[in-house]
């Protein structure tokens, strides 16, 4: 769907974070801004206690959601396209898979994803969408007992929405 991920009334939203987890631009900045100062405090705790060197690319971690209308923010670090000969396809798929694994572990039933790694990380939405959709479908097929009932991709513009709709149609 086209929309603002910070306004989603789901159990968890996924943050396209940087490895420092302390906010940034794009989706990351919007989520931190909308969540308020408690999200930054949670991220500082995660950095101190769990990931002192930063969250590795392709991994994910959950925090409370602060003032957002969801219960959790699942932070994941997507690959920067230029750093990998294939753009980091496996790492981008891992972002989605690890986010879903963490969400399932928390008992999440509804989750919303942005277009991870698109924008400043250099992925075109046309290339990222099929990887994201395939990773979600593979997770669903392999985890029929998962608590997750709804996965929503929330895209900020019409081009991104069209790319994700095309990726969903191509895999049907």
Catalytic positions, please? 28
> Are 112 and 65 contacting, i.e. CB atoms less than 8 angstroms apart?
no
Contact 29, 23 (CB under 8 A): yes
Distance CA 49, CA 107 (A): 23
Residues 6+ apart with CB under 8 A from 159: 125
- The CA distance from 114 to 127, in Å, is 14
């Amino acid at each position: 769907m086209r929309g603002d991920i910070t306004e989603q009334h789901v159990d968890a939203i996924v943050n396209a974070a940087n490895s420092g987890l302390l906010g940034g631009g794009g989706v990351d900045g919007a989520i931190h801004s909308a969540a308020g100062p408690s999200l930054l405090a949670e991220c500082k705790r995660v950095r101190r206690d769990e990931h002192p060197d930063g969250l590795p690319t392709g991994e994910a971690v959950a925090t409370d959601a602060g003032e957002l209308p969801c219960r959790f923010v699942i932070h994941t670090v997507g690959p920067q396209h230029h750093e990998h000969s294939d753009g980091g396809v496996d790492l981008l798929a891992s972002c989605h898979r690890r986010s879903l694994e963490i969400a399932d572990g928390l008992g999440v039933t509804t989750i919303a994803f942005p277009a991870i790694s698109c924008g400043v990380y250099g992925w075109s939405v046309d290339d990222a969408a099929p990887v994201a959709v395939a990773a979600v479908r593979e997770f669903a097929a392999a985890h029929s007992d998962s608590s997750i009932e709804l996965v929503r991709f929330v895209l900020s513009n019409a081009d991104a929405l069209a790319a994700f709709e095309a990726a969903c149609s191509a895999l049907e």
